[in-house]
Structure 1
Amino acid sequence: MCFNKLQTMKKIKKIVLVLSVIFVYSISSAQTDMLKRRVKHVVVIGFDGLSPDGLKNAKTPNFDQLIKEGASSMHARGVLPTSSSTNWATMIMGAGPEQHGITSNGWKVKDHVLPPVVEDDEAIFPTIFNVVNKQLPDAEIGVIYDWGDFGRLFEKSAVDYDINPKTAEETAKTASAYIEDKKPTFTFVHLDHIDHAGHEFGHGSGEYYKSVEVADELLGEIMNAIKKAGMSKNTLVILSADHGGFEKGHGGETLGEIEIPFILWGKGIKKNYKIPNAVYQYDNAATVAFALGLKRPWAWIGRPLIMAFEGFEIDDSYPIVEKK
């Protein structure tokens, strides 16, 4: 091999080596940025049975304010079947029923058809509660829910405060007092009354919209507690739902049943930003993990909605198409 050819090959190898180092450094920097803690507190409020139609047609000044001051999508999607247990599990587990195995409201930890792909401490698929607990051992974690069956979907050992009030009003009041008193790292609030209105009176009925307006009042109460606790400037609030509905039920495959609102508000969130990209139920837990700078379990399939955060953009050739 001639000298000049050998020198050229050496130069090429050096260039490849430099580019490799730059590439590895870039990946490392990106990973470091993804694991940067952006907020001190996260509050997720889930409204059972809340549809985008409900927010469109009811009077909701508190929801409207958070949408204006934050990022949102009215075209997020739950998973099939559009049952409560399946979608609440998906919301907190960062994965769908194919992974976590919760395929119906009849699911029990020791009585189910499809086993989870992986199991955590209490023989269930790992939830965001356990992820926070393990990676932030000093974190205060609270769950307040007025649908009793929600309590079987997460690891009891992972939370510090676990309470099941009897009504939505009591749930909001309890959650507000907890937030003011403990200033928790992660709070999850479940409100069930909208779903009751949907089943009794029908989605799209006047009574249904009234229940959404009650939810708006309860949201205002919880947001006021965040303010009183001095947490507003360092908190991410996420609002969403498990499913929508059709006539007096849900569980089917219509757009009205599977489409849900997704709203983000707080530190580092873009203002008055309509998320143009696809948003899924399992992205909720991933976004919580992102905001708290935590590693996501490999078994999760959810992705953090980084496009909603200031300083982040994504290259997406497939924006949401508005359905008529």
Structure 2
Amino acid sequence: MRKHAVAASAAAVLLGISGVCAGSAANATPTGAPVPTDAPRTPKTLVIGVDGASFDVLEQAETPSIHALQQGGLTATSNLPASPMAPTVSGAGWSTIATGVWPDKHRVTDNNFTNPNYAQFPDYLTRIEQAAPQRSTFVVGTWGPISTTVFGSAVDERVQGKNDADTTAKAVERLSTGNPDDVFVHLDEVDGAGHSTGSSSAAYRAALKTADQQIAKIVGAVEQRPDYANEDWLIVVTADHGHTPTGGHGGASRLERKTFVIAKGAEFAAGSTRDDVRIADIAPTVLAHDGIARKTDWELDGEAVNDIVPDDFDALRPKLRGAVDEKGLVGITGWTNEAPEGWTVDNSKMPTGGSTEFRGWTFMTDDFFSNAELGQHRENNVRSRNVFAVADSDEWDDVSPKSSRNFDSTLVTPEYPLNGAATVDISFVSDYAVDDPQGAGVRVSFDEASGLQPQKLVDYPANGTRANPVNQVEHFSYELPRDAKGRLPKSIRLNFSYSGINSAFWAIDQVRVSQPDAPTPDPAAIAVSAPSVAAGSAVTVTGTGFAPGEQLALELHSTPVSLGTATADASGTLSQRVTIPASAPAGAHTLVAKRADGSEVAIPLAITAAPGTGANGSTGSGANGTAAGNGTAAGGSVGSGANGANGATAAGAGTDAQGTAGAKGDGLAVTGASDPAGIVILGAALLALAGVGIAFGTGRARRTAA
């Protein structure tokens, strides 16, 4: 679509520059000498956008400066969305480059900027001004909306060039005499040539050559800055859309949708290429280079390039194949039905036949998937990267003759181990389109030992229009179920199931499963209902901090004597009544809870003699009759007698040197066997033992989900 009297502006990619562009006027050694210092170099960025530049033509054109940037840094190609998200026009393309979000968020779908959402999704220079107002920002562009609309009023300086030569001169002057930190330059005349003569023309290639010479001057101005050696430049070159061979853009063809990011900087390896970088990543990459922390509530679609993490599907790229039944995709290598390691595809309910490339869940690139049949919304799968998974009942059934058979396939993830936390975080890119009735959903299944049945994570609508009802990164915080004993599962899998009869499709990518740190349990401990108990009597043992359902052996030490077992409940607590053997000797003991791993949790327990026993464990009587009181001898016996000669207790309790108590026959309480002066009070010496538990070896390992 032609804009005003000039072509649409091209998006520039940020790049950190460290060398001189071949063919540049800046082949001289930079004048700024390194300053010996431990101080970091100042981060600076330059993004140059070449409007309407077709990458396939640019690669073959005489563009040495751009090729030098490629050789010194990163090259990545990708595709734009198409209608209904947005046609391939400059307003949409530049807005994606500037904001880091796709048109369904920034809402620029034409060159009139009818309903932009820049308030929520401002350009990256505005975000820089908000986060680091001391930085100097500068925009110059040949197409008017670049400096008046796409980049907002918060930018320090916004200038419009009369033509690309004037735009270049203004950029060179500002870089040479000023001290800008973040610069965006837009060159427009390649797009004009594309509109006039098409991307296959000599005039188009000549326009690319001119733009390359202008880029050389701009990059040369950077390299000749007096303090260049102490600056950390990121330089990016990009485009907002391509062109058809005969001229024009706005449609969904491969040549119109293909764009690129060329970036040179310290963060990129020389001569590197990537298949997972898109133009929405330019803004986040600039912000990261400047050290500006990305905020979650910005809701950016793009990622800083070095923050993009390949997923399991991307490992399939070396295994991609050429078309078999999809005759319109001959020459494109971009699909496989081989699942990644650990993943499985259940096609047990799939009929035979249909398109080989789309039978059940298969794995594809955007070039293959989106070009299978244009105009059916596959072009809008912009949040997937590199290789992704596809279930497409429409394209599978579009073989001659059509059979209207039921597509039914399930994609199953690897097993993700869990760490003991009660929740799990699940995310994945989901692009789901509906035509005729179909079904799609995600189920969570658990390790077999847990005995838990699969549970629903999400279901998608079965009816609707092909307009994508879901095209986003899904995020779920999922609360894990527990079994009947309160135990959490040890692992999960995700099951992506899709069925439909010649309906539409579902594409997923970047499946991530993670967990918060498992809560650190309180140390296991036990307590007893009384610090002292008589032999033959019962005591209640309670405990906390154990694993749900954990079984423990209860023992009396020092010489171990079994007291039975106890089982912790769902909260890790226990309560068990145990009986102390009647034969247990009086004195200080330890009650122990022995765990399955051999570790022990213990607490002191005092044991007294069983009631009614004498010095030798028997009951006796004195010469002068039976006393009314009880007393305990050092040997743990209880006796009775008029004089307490055998340690008997009379009406008033007292203890002699051997631990006996007695009373005279007349019932008057005295202490001692026969000499009151020999009295020593032992009373409740054993009762002073505290009921505090002591834990042994309770540490447990923790695993984090993949």
TM-score (norm. length: structure 2): 0.37
Superposition deviation, residue 231 in structure 1 = 2.9
Where do 5+ consecutive residues of structure 1 fail to align?
1-36
Determine the structure 2 residue equivalent to 1:206: 202
Which AA in structure 2 matches 1:272?
G
Would you say the 8 A contact 2:136–2:181 is kept in 1?
Answer: yes
Which AA in structure 2 matches 1:305?
V
Which AA in structure 1 matches 2:72?
E
Superposition deviation, residue 221 in structure 1 = 0.2
Matches within 5 A, 1:135-150: 135-150=131-146
TM-score (norm. length: structure 1): 0.78
* Distance change >3 Å, CA 45–CA 155, structure 1 → 2: closer
Determine the structure 2 residue equivalent to 1:127: 123
SS at match of 1:40: strand
| Number of residue-to-residue matches in the alignment | 272
Determine the structure 2 residue equivalent to 1:107: 113
Residue 311 of structure 2 is aligned to residue 305 of structure 1: no
Residue 219 of structure 2 is aligned to residue 223 of structure 1: yes
Would you say the 8 A contact 1:86–1:102 is kept in 2?
Answer: yes
SS at match of 2:314: coil
Superposition deviation, residue 38 in structure 1 = 8.4
User: Which has the larger displacement, 214-223 or 147-156?
Assistant: 147-156
Would you say the 8 A contact 2:122–2:152 is kept in 1?
Answer: no
Determine the structure 1 residue equivalent to 2:236: 238
Question: C-alpha offsets along residues 203-256 of structure 1, whole Å, 9 cap, x if unaligned?
Answer: 121110010000110010001100111436510001000000112100000110
Distance 1:218 1:249 in 2: 24
* Distance change >3 Å, CA 119–CA 100, structure 1 → 2: same
- The structure in which a higher percent of residues are strand is 2
Distance 1:76 1:157 in 2: 30
Question: C-alpha offsets along residues 54-103 of structure 1, whole Å, 9 cap, x if unaligned?
Answer: 22221111111111111112x22233311000010010011011101111
User: Which has the larger displacement, 127-136 or 147-156?
Assistant: 147-156
Determine the structure 1 residue equivalent to 2:691: none
Distance 1:205 1:182 in 2: 39
Would you say the 8 A contact 2:285–2:304 is kept in 1?
Answer: yes
SS at match of 2:213: helix
SS at match of 1:274: strand
SS at match of 2:140: strand
Cα RMSD, aligned residues only: 2.2
Superposition deviation, residue 273 in structure 1 = 0.5
SS at match of 1:262: strand
SS at match of 1:234: strand
- Answer with 1 or 2: which has the greater Rg: 2
SS at match of 2:167: helix
Determine the structure 2 residue equivalent to 1:283: 281
Where relative contact order (Cα < 8 A, 6+ residues apart) is larger, the structure is 1
- The structure in which a higher percent of residues are helix is 1
Would you say the 8 A contact 2:123–2:150 is kept in 1?
Answer: yes
Determine the structure 2 residue equivalent to 1:251: 250
Residue 185 of structure 2 is aligned to residue 179 of structure 1: no
Matches within 5 A, 1:149-188: 149-188=145-184
Determine the structure 2 residue equivalent to 1:64: 67
Which AA in structure 2 matches 1:90?
T
Which AA in structure 2 matches 1:77?
N
* Distance change >3 Å, CA 131–CA 316, structure 1 → 2: farther
Would you say the 8 A contact 1:243–1:258 is kept in 2?
Answer: yes
Distance 1:213 1:173 in 2: 17
Superposition deviation, residue 40 in structure 1 = 1.1
SS at match of 1:260: strand
SS at match of 1:153: helix
Determine the structure 2 residue equivalent to 1:274: 273
Would you say the 8 A contact 1:38–1:293 is kept in 2?
Answer: no
* Distance change >3 Å, CA 38–CA 259, structure 1 → 2: farther
Residue 266 of structure 2 is aligned to residue 264 of structure 1: no
Distance 1:47 1:323 in 2: 27
Distance 2:144 2:133 in 1: 26
Superposition deviation, residue 295 in structure 1 = 2.6
Superposition deviation, residue 192 in structure 1 = 0.2
Superposition deviation, residue 313 in structure 1 = 7.0
Would you say the 8 A contact 2:52–2:190 is kept in 1?
Answer: yes
Would you say the 8 A contact 2:46–2:236 is kept in 1?
Answer: yes
Distance 2:94 2:102 in 1: 10
